[in-house]
Amino acid sequence: MSVPFSGTEGRDQHSRIHSRPNPGFLERLGETMGGMMVGVGLFFVSFYVLFTNEGRAIRTAASLDEGLSQVLTLRPDMYVDPQNDNRLVHLSAPLRTSQPLYDPNYKVAVQAVKLKRNVEMYQWVEYQDSREYKEGGETKTETTYTYNTEWKSEVINSRNFDQEIGHTNPSAMAVESVTVVAPDVWVGYFFLSKGLIDQINNFQTLHLGALPVTDPFLTVHEDYFYHTANPRRPEVGDVRVSFSYAGLSGEGSFPGPPQTVSVVAMQKEERLKPFKTRSGDTLEILYLEELTAEEVFAKEHKLNDMKTWALRAGGWFLMFLGISLTTRIIYTLVDWVPLLRDLVSVGLKLFALCVSCCLSLLTIAAGWLLYRPLLAGLIAALALVPILIARSRAPDKKHQ
């Protein structure tokens, strides 16, 4: 059952209350069993994430060390040398493209690797805020719906609103967002592969103040083209357009000097392509700054370490969540006793925390076993510390 009523006076909002009977014991037990199935799945997924992450981290580190040991640094003004074919090379030089990227609708031209047209429409947006409480043997959910008008880059379907009347959005935008990429990009005398071009994403807003506007249906305000005469008082359905660019590549052209990049890849004739290492990884690296080969590989090692620790944390959290969901049935069996319920809740959380930490460390140790047995042994010993402490205290309690 739902009961709507008006919200705070003067604001475009309303509230709606949904009521449902409080779930019985069997219903709560069924929900907990469903959660247990999800928990078991998360538990096994966490093992996969933790174990494969260690192998990936070791393989990536070995590939980077292999690449650094054989990389050849080229001068920016050096012509293509056929003797370097199939070798891993490093090059730092400005980006170059054959011609500016052009948007015919807005007469915008920029000498860059990428030009992005960003389109936004003024639309109604619905926000929901819910709170749940128990009253008279029922569980009630009060949801407050608030409506604002905002600029959004995606069309918001107002048919899904709780109250569509008075909050209707257009079904499509008059102009579409699009990203244009230069067909050929050079660094020095080498063409960049698609994988290297994809890494050029340092988008910056294009300032429109210096551009002439001849279209009478457009208004420029704060780096936006507005399809309305009054940008300060837009109406629902109005559109505004901004532009951003990545990888400037024109000498002395608007809006600035060309971007210098550092590339590590395989030379194949006059192209830079992915390099396959003996460890099985692929090296195809681009940084948007001037770096030596040693600095490039140092940054890659740092990124590998950050990714490794992020996946370790994610794997541990999946295991903790899986154990918590699996053991929640114990809480459901005693949740009708207030004091016992709180004690069991704390105990289950501590149990999930300890077990997930121990099993995570053991899984990480298994991942290192083939590569560094001594380190794997130290990690495994650290994982067994809580168990050894508990076993050592057990006789003391029995004696007492």
Q: Read off the pLDDT of residues 277-312 as tens digits, 9 standing for 90 and up.
A: 998 899 999 999 999 999 999 999 999 999 999 999
pLDDT confidence of 398, banded at 50, 70, 90?
very low
The tally of CA atoms less than 13 A away on the side-chain side of residue 125 is 10
The three-state secondary structure class of 258 is coil
Q: Is the pLDDT of residue 388 over 70?
A: no
Top-confidence residue, 215 or 140: 140
Top-confidence residue, 9 or 111: 111
Parallel, antiparallel or unpaired: strands 260-268 and 285-287: antiparallel
pLDDT in tens, 319-354: 999 998 888 877 777 776 677 777 888 888 888 888
In a domain, 6, yes or no: no
User: What gap in Å lies between CA 377 and CA 365, rounded to an integer?
Assistant: 7
In a domain, 294, yes or no: no
In a domain, 298, yes or no: no
In a domain, 85, yes or no: no
8 A C-beta contact, residue 264 and residue 274: no
Q: Any idea which residue has 């043997």 for tokens?
A: 137
8 A C-beta contact, residue 273 and residue 284: yes
Q: Is the pLDDT of residue 156 over 80?
A: yes
Query: In the prediction, which pLDDT does 250 show?
Result: 79
pLDDT confidence of 210, banded at 50, 70, 90?
low
In a domain, 210, yes or no: yes
Query: In the prediction, which pLDDT does 255 show?
Result: 82
Task: Work out the percent of the chain whose per-residue pLDDT is above 70.
Answer: 84
H or E segment to which residue 50 belongs: helix 25-70
Query: In the prediction, which pLDDT does 172 show?
Result: 93
Window from 6-15, 189-198, 310-319 with minimum mean pLDDT: 6-15
8 A C-beta contact, residue 123 and residue 156: yes
In a domain, 74, yes or no: no
Q: Note if the pTM is more than 0.85.
A: no
Inter-CA distances, 383 with 344, 351, 356, 363, 379, Å? 25, 14, 10, 10, 6
In a domain, 240, yes or no: yes
Query: In the prediction, which pLDDT does 16 show?
Result: 82
Query: In the prediction, which pLDDT does 5 show?
Result: 45
Which domain, by its residues, includes 159?
Answer: 101-252
pLDDT confidence of 252, banded at 50, 70, 90?
low
Q: Is the pLDDT of residue 400 over 50?
A: no
Looking at the 3D structure of the chain, how many domains does it have? Answer: 1
Mean pLDDT of the chain: 85
In a domain, 343, yes or no: no
Query: In the prediction, which pLDDT does 21 show?
Result: 67
